[in-house]
Amino acid sequence: MGPARVLCVATVAGELAGSYMVKPNGVGRAAHVGNAGYWVTQPFRGRGLGRVLVQDSLGAARTAGFDALQFNFVFESNPARRLYEQLGFQVVGRVPEVIDGEAVLIYWRRL
């Protein structure tokens, strides 16, 4: 996974349920913006764990010294988009036809 600055693993009743990591989105003067990635295992999807992970990552990223988070490749069909927007992330860019004709969105949020 590379040099993550923050790595969190979520378990439910001792079972791996999900995770997130936050690392610098860029190097040098751009390293103050974090890039986060999340995943929730199939049995725990649709139960609110994704929301908990994203909310937790906001504070953890701030504590690690980041002042914003950016998601570089969120496919337009990704159901997590609604969650990101509810939590204050804004679409700041769109890259068309990335895979099989589907575009990806770039999300950003100040911490």
Residue 45 belongs to a domain: yes
Q: Which residues contact 83 (CB under 8 A, 6 or more apart)?
A: 50, 51, 54
Model pLDDT for residues 19-34, shown as the tens digit of each residue = 999 999 998 888 999 9
Q: How does 83-92 read in b/e, with b if 16+ C-beta sit within 10 Å?
A: bbeeeebeee
Residue 1 belongs to a domain: no
Residue 35 belongs to a domain: yes
What pLDDT is attached to residue 63? 93
Q: Rounded distance, CA 101 to CA 83, Å?
A: 24
Model pLDDT for residues 75-88, shown as the tens digit of each residue = 999 999 999 999 99
pTM of the entire predicted model: 0.89
Q: Which residue has the tokens 């988070």?
A: 69
Residue 59 belongs to a domain: yes
Q: Which residue has the tokens 């690690």?
A: 64
CATH of the domain at 54: 3.40.630.30
Query: Domain range holding 47?
Result: 6-110
